[in-house]
Amino acid sequence: MPDENRTEELAIMGGTPSFEKILHVGRPNIGDSERLLERISGTLDRGWLTNNGPNVQEFERELSKLLGVEHCIATCNATVALEITIKATGLTGEVIVPSWTFIATAHALQWQGITPVFCDVDPVTHNLDPRRVEEMLTPRTTGIMGVHLWGRPCDIDALAYIARRHNIRLIFDAAHAFDCSYKGRMIGGFGDAEVFSFHATKYVNTFEGGAIATNDSELAARIRLMKNFGFEGYDEVSHIGTNGKMNEISAAMGLTSLESLEEFVNVNCRNYQQYREELDGLPGVRLLPYDETEMSNYQYVVLEIDAPATGLSRDELVQVLWAENVHARRYFYPGCHRMEPYRSYYPHAGQMLPVTEKLAERVLSLPTGMAVGGEQITTICSIIRTAVSRSYTIRRRLSEMSPLTTAATKIRTQP
Ligand SMILES: *Cc1c(COP(=O)(O)O)cnc(C)c1O
């Protein structure tokens, strides 16, 4: 299937790269910078830079309103927020988590001496498979930590049922799922608590930041203490704690981002729909769908590559794209269980994770967000179509190239 849109040679075959500047996955969405500077200027005038300042208080109120959750506690990032939530909910022993997630999900548990028990995911949803969760329960299990991967909610009802029946905790790493819904209710109010990330690469950012959402007032009070060293009053510490506070500049960025939420989601949704149309019908290339009856932030454009049908493996396609300066990412290759320290601690974990291992070989993320425009998406899709139509030649070419000159080398050394 020759591509009519693309007459010039692919860069991997010796042509000029399609893009002069590198296209990244996860370039920040930035709202109205004038508004942001006003807020920062006001913050400097007040001289109240952190410690539950007015921006943080306002940001928390706005989050609560948007999510329909009683308590939202802003934090310095999502990893510390997860750590605090894990401790505040009293998790110990073993906690069931997916391996198919960003490494922070597992680290937040292991950091506190809790064993992350890696559980396989559903091949269609990429989220925890409740049937597998049941199999991983032991007398040491104290909780389940689901991840709403790509902003697509877990099978929350099934997980909640398991948690209730076994009297264990249920918390969610909702780092991807800000402004998304499950059965018409916003993510944030499910389980014992849910944790959002406002890292620069996420849909809404506060440079670095996160938030813990919960409807449990007692838990919220404990979390508030824990994120501020356990301080109850000026000289009174009533709980063990850490420093998980969000600062005022971050909250200013958060408030400004929230004002542009509609624009962010519209751009993401338009990008996603364009990718879907322009990749439609390509053999072996599946674009992960979003449920259009739910709220979604459309933050990730995720492809699954079925190598036998495409004629190219995911890694080969990634090399083609990198040669064009499209830095597609292999999120979340190779899975937490294949990274240290888990690889050494649990060398056989992969035996229980056939779907995760398969996804790790098949999935790639493409650039989207405010920094990516329609013309760029057309070019990216045309590169992919051309690569698939010429898979045989590209394969031969890649096998002739010295491994040192291939893009794979760069992928490995990139942060
Ligand atoms: C980004 C991310 C985190 C960590 O968020 P930070 O705010 O960077 O600490 C945790 N879990 C998942 C799934 C993420 O994508």
Secondary structure class of 298 (helix, strand, coil) = coil
> Please, are residues 267 and 370 in contact by the beta-carbon 8 Å criterion?
yes
Atom of ligand 1 nearest to the CA of 82: 10
Give distance in angstroms: CA of 394 to centre of ligand 1. 35
CATH number of 7-27+261-328+367-412: 3.90.1150.10
Q: Is the dihedral of CA 204, 210, 216, 218 positive or negative?
A: negative
Distance CA 245, CA 212 (A): 12
Nearest CA to 326 out of 297, 365, 286, 270 is that of: 365
Which residues contact residue 11 at a Cβ distance below 8 angstroms, ignoring those fewer than 6 apart? 17, 18, 320, 323, 324, 325
Domain range annotation of the chain? 7-27+261-328+367-412, 33-259
pTM of the model: 0.95
DSSP label at residue 228 = B
Residue 104 Cβ contacting ligand 1 at under 6 Å: yes
Residue 199 Cβ contacting ligand 1 at under 6 Å: yes
Fill in the amino acid letter for 252.
Answer: A
In the chain the first and final C-alpha atoms are separated, in Å, by 36
Residue 147 Cβ contacting ligand 1 at under 6 Å: yes
Strand partners, 72: 213
Distance CA 278, CA 301 (A): 13
Q: Is the dihedral of CA 386, 391, 397, 399 positive or negative?
A: positive
Q: Could you count the other beta carbons within 10 Å of the beta carbon of residue 3?
A: 16
What pLDDT, on a 0 to 100 scale, did the predictor assign at position 402? 66
Fill in the amino acid letter for 326.
Answer: V
Fold of the domain built from segment(s) 33-259 = Aspartate Aminotransferase; domain 2 (3.40.640)
Residue 210 Cβ contacting ligand 1 at under 6 Å: yes
Read off the tokens for 318.
């990634």
> Please, are residues 105 and 129 in contact by the beta-carbon 8 Å criterion?
no
Nearest CA to 63 out of 217, 189, 237, 228 is that of: 189
What pLDDT, on a 0 to 100 scale, did the predictor assign at position 414? 44
Give distance in angstroms: CA of 14 to centre of ligand 1. 38
Nearest CA to 365 out of 126, 114, 128 is that of: 126
Cα angle: 150, vertex 154, 158; to 5 degrees: 170
Residue 77 Cβ contacting ligand 1 at under 6 Å: yes
| Burial grade of 20 (CB within 10 A; 0-12, 13-18, 19 or more) | exposed
Read off the tokens for 269.
């949704």
- What averages of pLDDT result for each successive group of 10 residues across the chain (415 residues)? 63 95 95 98 98 98 98 98 98 98 98 98 98 98 98 98 98 98 98 98 97 98 98 95 98 98 97 98 97 96 98 97 97 97 96 98 97 96 96 93 58 45
Residue 178 Cβ contacting ligand 1 at under 6 Å: no
Buried b (16+ CB within 10 A) or exposed e, 278-288: bbeebebbbbb
For ligand 1, pick from 101, 105, 245 the residue to mutate: most ligand atoms within 8 Å of CB.
105
Secondary structure element (H or E) that encloses residue 412, with its range: helix 407-413
